[in-house]
């Protein structure tokens, strides 16, 4: 796993004064997830208060939307590069030495706020019109199929310009019924 991360430019060797421990967690599909226990660094991190959208308000704003798509980013957090002066704070220790993330890892106290802010800026003028963002859950909701095609084109252009990549196998397109934030969205009659 570590060699893969090194090869993909996700982590690099480190000489950081920080060293958070790692934890390997089994995923539902039987594969393993590499996690870093950032409780130590998080306890001294100034918290970012960027707000998350209110789910109930988001659901109310969907109103009479009839066609839905959901997008899933490929390792979403890892598509955000760490600021150079923060990289050393992501250091973790393994039997192979000390390494640090070049991209934003899960588990940092401000990762959620950072990702939400990034998405809010990326889709700023589209949010609550036809784009609804809750961290890495992206919903495009339209009144008609023709309108939906235009909306998707606009969203894809923003994603392309930002250099982001989607995990197409987990995206759902142009559905009349779709799961989103623990709810099943359908057209309101």
pLDDT digits (tens, 9 = 90+) for 107-157: 999 999 999 999 999 999 999 899 999 998 899 999 999 999 999 999 999
CATH of the domain at 170: 3.30.70.270
- The pLDDT, as a whole number, for residue 138 is 94
In a domain, 160, yes or no: yes
Is 184 a member of any domain? no
Distance from the Cα of residue 102 to its chain's centroid: 16
In the chain the first and final C-alpha atoms are separated, in Å, by 49
Q: Identify whether 185 is part of a domain.
A: no
181 within a domain of the structure (yes/no): no
pTM to 2 decimal places: 0.88
pLDDT recorded at residue 31: 86
Q: Domain count of the chain?
A: 1
Instruction: Give the lowest-confidence range in 15-19, 55-59, 118-122.
Output: 55-59
Average pLDDT rounded to a whole number, residues 22-50: 92
Q: Report the number of secondary-structure helices (H) and strands (E) in the chain.
A: 6, 11
Q: 167 phi and psi, to 5 degrees?
A: -95, 90
Q: What is the pLDDT of residue 113?
A: 96
Domain presence at residue 71: yes
Q: Pick the closest to residue 139 from 177, 108, 102 (CA basis).
A: 177
pLDDT grade, residue 189 (50/70/90)? low
Q: What confidence score (pLDDT) does residue 187 get?
A: 87
- Could you tell me if 116 and 109 are in contact, meaning their C-beta atoms sit under 8 angstroms apart? no
> Residue 53 belongs to what domain range?
2-176
**CA atoms of 84 and 88, how far apart (whole Å):** 8
Asked if residue 163 belongs to a domain, the reply is: yes
User: Could you tell me if residue 87 is inside a domain?
Assistant: yes
């Amino acid at each position: 796993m570590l060699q893969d991360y090194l090869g993909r430019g996700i982590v690099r060797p480190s000489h950081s004064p920080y060293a958070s421990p790692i934890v390997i967690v089994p995923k539902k599909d039987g594969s393993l997830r590499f996690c870093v226990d950032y409780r130590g660094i998080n306890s001294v991190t100034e918290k970012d208060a960027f707000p998350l959208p209110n789910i109930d308000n988001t659901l109310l704003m969907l109103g009479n939307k009839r066609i839905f798509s959901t997008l899933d980013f490929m390792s979403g957090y890892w598509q955000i590069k760490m600021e150079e002066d923060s990289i050393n704070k992501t250091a973790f220790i393994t039997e192979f030495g000390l390494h640090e993330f070049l991209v934003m890892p899960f588990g940092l106290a401000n990762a959620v706020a950072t990702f939400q802010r990034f998405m809010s800026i990326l889709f700023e003028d589209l949010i609550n019109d036809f784009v609804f963002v809750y961290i890495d859950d992206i919903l495009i909701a339209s009144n008609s199929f023709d309108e939906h095609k235009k909306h998707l084109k606009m969203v894809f252009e923003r994603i392309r310009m930002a250099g982001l990549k989607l995990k197409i196998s987990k995206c759902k397109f142009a559905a009349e019924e779709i799961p989103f934030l623990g709810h099943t969205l359908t057209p309101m009659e």
